Amino acid sequence: DTVKPMNFLQQLIKADLDAGKHAKVVTRFPPEPNGYLHIGHAKSICLNFGLAEEFGGECNLRFDDTNPAKEEQQYIDAIKEDVTWLGYRWAGDVRYASSYFDTLYEWAIHLIQSGHAYVCDLSPDEAREYRGTLKHTGKNSPYRERSAEENQALFEKMKAGEFDEGACVLRAKIDMANGNINMRDPILYRIRKQLHHQTGDKWCIYPNYDFAHGQEDAIEGVTHSICTLEFADHRPLYNWLIEHLPVPSQPKQYEFGRLNLNYTVTSKRKLKQLVDEEHVDGWDDPRMPTIAGYRRRGYTPGALRKFCEMIGVSKSDGVVDVAMLEHAIRDDLDKNAPRAMCVLRPLKVILTNYPEDKTELLNAPGHPQRDDLPARTLPFGREIFIDEDDFREEANKKYKRLVIGKRVRLRSAYIIEADKAVKNEAGEIIAVEARIIENTVGNDPEDGIKAKGVIQWVAAHDHATFEVRLYDRLFNDPSPDSGDKNFLDFINPESLTVLPSCVGEKGLLNAASTAAYQFEREGYFCRDSHAETLVFNRTISLRDSWNG
């Protein structure tokens, strides 16, 4: 085993611990409960919880619930389930930004009293104009020189609900000429007459992200506050607030490159649109790049974690090939999924030389390399099903399946030879007549004429019947939401194919929810966790397109 070099965050934490800066490392994962978590969040989860685990520290799960209009309890529940399913445990109870609202309010008063915050009555349009642009410095608000007493009285009135939404905001008094627009007297509090899922009607003013995040980190003793690159411009404000408030600890913010995947959209807003407009069947539709969608699709926590480890951590944004994620799950399932036989498009084969009243039980391994997985017994009889695609009346030599006058091996069973296609009046093939070659279970034929290929089959007299859903990528464009593109224009119309009457080994009747199988020659499948009847979802096909 080669030791992987440490990424920049591991190096930084190690250096801080070596220098005795912290007794232990504390990180946090801070989702806003305004949607389900997606694969990008998985990266952040693996990073924050992973670093805490690696360095013997702790990671908090904190809901960044400062914008009640878009947040819901169902998202809180889903996020907790997803983090747990990925295999991580947060330190202590779940935390909420909203449980710090009292302290944040006191700290707002502190800033007002020290002359570092003021109530501003500019309208949003006016405020935008005063803020300036990257090229043009901003100008001071006419309300900037209000006295501390006046500001405090106004802020108390804001809290008491005496102003309408949008009438005024609380702003930090920093520097309207600052090159960083985030430092041009940023908004700290706004009025939102909105019920909150945690605090009910207690508040009608809410802190914004910048006024909440760093202070919460400080309250929780977070040592390394790790976020995505778009927050780099907010770091000066993060530090300014920590410096100007009586916070109990001194957290530091670090940024890493967010995960983008080709053929995939990773924005909660856009994923919500897919759900709301019913392009998919809910947040956990197996085509969705949500953690809940991957779970239902048959991805394992191990594969998602492995993928996050493979992509590593960098200081710049990049686009990762979705084939790498597919490789991670394929690799996991190849090693771990028991094998089973399933026929997606059944075609009956009548074995004319096999006695009508005879059946037998054949043996097959649970997994070619894994003795610990239970072996299977396969009932065999005069009539079996094979896949329509595995029979042709005539074919060239490249086609190594069943052809009239030719032989094929039935996996873990006999070699058979086809004699005749049975057709209906419309000329469609409805069955095949064939013969078994005697003594060929586990043996070559005595006449020396070998079979070229191997196909899967299922006994007609004893099997399970079920639906199979074949999933393909949800988008047929590598960058469905780049530039001016509307991601909805690139939804793959063939992202779902339903095969209603498949047959498989009887053992599949007992498949546990989301339990994975390799259906031999077809791919990896798992039992759907929602359907009331027996349904299998294709997790991923067998063919690997990632050459890493």
Closest CB to ligand ATP among 217 and 505? 217
Alpha-helix residue ranges (DSSP H) falling in 132-276: 148-160, 209-220, 235-244, 268-276
Contacts of 523 (CB under 8 A, 6+ apart): 538, 539, 540, 541, 542
- 461 in a known ligand binding site: no
Closest CB to ligand ATP among 34 and 178? 34
- The residues that bridge with 415 in the sheet, in sequence order, are 409
- 228 in a known ligand binding site: yes
CA angle 32, 36, 42 (to 5 degrees): 85
Minimum distance, C-beta of residue 31 to ligand ATP, in the bound complex (Å): 4
Q: Is-contact 525 537, C-beta < 8 A?
A: yes
Closest CB to ligand ATP among 83 and 111? 83
SS3 for 224? strand
Distance between CA atoms of 16 and 1, rounded to whole angstroms? 27
- 33 in a known ligand binding site: yes
Q: Which of 337, 366, 336, 329 has the alpha carbon at shortest distance from 471? A: 329
Minimum distance, C-beta of residue 392 to ligand ATP, in the bound complex (Å): 47
Closest CB to ligand ATP among 299 and 519? 299
Closest CB to ligand ATP among 78 and 437? 78
Q: Is-contact 274 284, C-beta < 8 A?
A: no
Minimum distance, C-beta of residue 68 to ligand ATP, in the bound complex (Å): 15
Minimum distance, C-beta of residue 211 to ligand ATP, in the bound complex (Å): 15
- 104 in a known ligand binding site: no
Distance between CA atoms of 504 and 497, rounded to whole angstroms? 18
- 42 in a known ligand binding site: yes
Which amino acid type is present at position 135? K
Minimum distance, C-beta of residue 56 to ligand ATP, in the bound complex (Å): 22
- 209 in a known ligand binding site: yes
Q: Which of 202, 36, 235, 185 has the alpha carbon at shortest distance from 105? A: 202
Contacts of 425 (CB under 8 A, 6+ apart): none
Minimum distance, C-beta of residue 39 to ligand ATP, in the bound complex (Å): 7
Instruction: Return the residue matching tokens 């991601």.
Output: 487
Q: Is-contact 503 485, C-beta < 8 A?
A: no
Q: Which of 72, 53, 187, 61 has the alpha carbon at shortest distance from 120? A: 187
Minimum distance, C-beta of residue 44 to ligand ATP, in the bound complex (Å): 4
Q: Which two tokens stand for residue 413?
A: 């069973």
Contacts of 78 (CB under 8 A, 6+ apart): 36, 37, 283, 292
Question: Which residues are part of the catalytic machinery?
Answer: 32, 258, 268
Note the residues at the interface with ligand ATP (CB under 6 A).
Answer: 30-32, 40-41, 43-44, 64, 227-228, 258-259, 266-268
Which residue number places its CB atom closest to ligand ATP?
40
Q: Which of 276, 272, 212 has the alpha carbon at shortest distance from 242? A: 212
Distance between CA atoms of 138 and 132, rounded to whole angstroms? 4
Closest CB to ligand ATP among 270 and 367? 270
- 40 in a known ligand binding site: yes
Closest CB to ligand ATP among 259 and 337? 259
- 357 in a known ligand binding site: no
Instruction: Extract the annotated binding site for L-glutamine.
Output: 64, 209
Instruction: Extract the annotated binding site for ATP.
Output: 32-34, 38-44, 228, 258-259
Instruction: Extract the annotated binding site.
Output: 32-34, 38-44, 64, 209, 228, 258-259
